[in-house]
Structure 1
């Protein structure tokens, strides 16, 4: 059964302006209001509750080098999220984690790393491959989560409880970055498969899903950052960049990838940038349709 678990964290994002907090932590409730929970529960999913994150603090003026934003709160949230995901997986459920920002991938990795043969499929408009080895500006895990997941970040976040790397690079796939992504070349050298949004659009969803499974295997975690969508479709994200997928393209890709996922996470939707709720409804339509096969099989 699909178990919908809210993880409303904004801890890995930069503040939209000094002293303020990002709105991504409001995403689970905004998606509930847009009908996502009702639609999925009618299809057989259940509500698995919420794992609350600690308070967001803009510590840019006081944080020492070598520490990411909200590090201690993020580590605590990752541990608690991992325990909940572990319990769901042990019960035979398929967790659908509603973030929040991409830092939830740390808790997901903590839960999946003890399980043999779990790959990672990372759908994102950015490679999120910034790390201390290629940048002096590391601070926001939401732009560094993929690097951390494969063990390339500071050990405090990439090796929580000596569990890193959370995913093997050779079984990790990234899809969806734009052509000007600064870390794409390095990610392509180190990961099993890296496909830009433009390259993804040149393949059929069936072909792309087959290519993904050839690397990630048939048991993987599916991480979906909604900025993989073009801003004309989904502008309610912190870093919208042109050249992303259409709603139909992401829906079709999810349709082919979701059936082999042991769990799915949805991240970086920001309701503060969607006051009328239009984009929450767009995302709800994409997810309820794209995950339809998963709900039928679960």
Structure 2
């Protein structure tokens, strides 16, 4: 989605990077995406929009994530749209046993098996991540599927999601927002963490999981989402066992005065400061 490419700098302007730096984070730089091209009129069948540039970006993002992990830190990727999950998936496939927790207002499971209009990976990222897409996306460099479907959990979709029945049949755990509220965050977090596994998981967060009344600056705002407080509570509990995380789909073009960027800054800095804390090995006292 073109507008979301501006999200990292809009969130920087809202104070996100500064506030994370105050918590001890370091900026690992920018993985520049390819130029967005509207190629709908010329793209061949079986090819998604901007496919070549997206695959190139996924490889470079995976390498950057590897670099951050090698330093002993937990990477937080600020997107961009949900296609950044391809790069995160490539990086996680290099580490045996890493699961996926997908927090999103939609299941993002449109795929060639259920749709004739596959083109935008922003709505197909979860399908690609678990191997339910064309091989060009779902098997980059022969690495697919990037996550084991049985160790993949989704939370946050609405009850009327078009692919809800399918994801329930494929993934290890699926929890719509209505069920999340009914069961309570603590119970849901336990189920998500159990599904994704003790080795940790990648945490993908699409901010359209928030209700459209509080977060309209996304490409597909919908009612029935969670509140900022509910999202903070969920992410704060999930973050410590996350190998890393990605934040996607905030669109500054839909937020001209930066109100929603400031809200996201508060939510993310309040919830992700402990990212990877349970997975980091204690350092010797002399190194602290």
Would the aligned equivalents of 1:40 and 1:295 in 2 still touch at CA under 8 Å? no
State the match for 2:68 in structure 1: 88
1:35-46 alignment to 2 at 5 Å? 35-46=15-26
- Pick one of 233, 238, 241 that aligns with 1:260: 241
Partner of 1:283: 264
- C-alpha separation between the residues in 1 aligned to 2:272 and 2:36? 31
| 1:199 counterpart residue number | 179
Q: Any residues of structure 2 matched to 1:40-59 within 5 Å, and which?
A: 40-59=20-39
Residue 142 of structure 1 corresponds to which residue in structure 2? 122
For residue 295 of structure 1, report the CA deviation from its aligned partner.
Answer: 8.4
User: 234, 242, 266: which is aligned to 2:223?
Assistant: 242
TM-score, normalisation: structure 2: 0.94
Matched, 1:101 2:89: no
Q: Could you say which structure has the higher strand fraction?
A: 1
Q: Which residue number corresponds to residue 7 of structure 1? A: none
Distance (whole Å) between structure 2 residues aligned to residue 280 and residue 296 of structure 1: 26
Give 5+ residue unaligned stretches, structure 2: 281-288
Match runs of 1:41-190 below 5 Å = 41-190=21-170
**Cα contact 1:24–1:268 (8 A) shared by 2:** yes
Q: 1-side partners of 2:224 and 2:85: how far apart? A: 24
| Equivalent in 198, 208, 213 of residue 232 of structure 1 | 213
Between the aligned partners of 1:94 and 1:293, the Cα distance in structure 2 is: 9
Q: TM-score, normalised by structure 1?
A: 0.91
2:274 alignment partner, SS class: helix
Runs of 4+ displaced beyond 4 Å: 295-298
1:262-287 Cα distance to aligned partner (Å, 9 max, x none) = 10100000000000000000000000
Note if contact 1:68-1:138 (Cα within 8 Å) is conserved in structure 2: yes
Q: Secondary structure at the match of 2:167?
A: helix
For residue 222 of structure 1, what is the aligned residue in structure 2?
Answer: 203
RMSD (Å) for aligned C-alpha atoms: 1.2
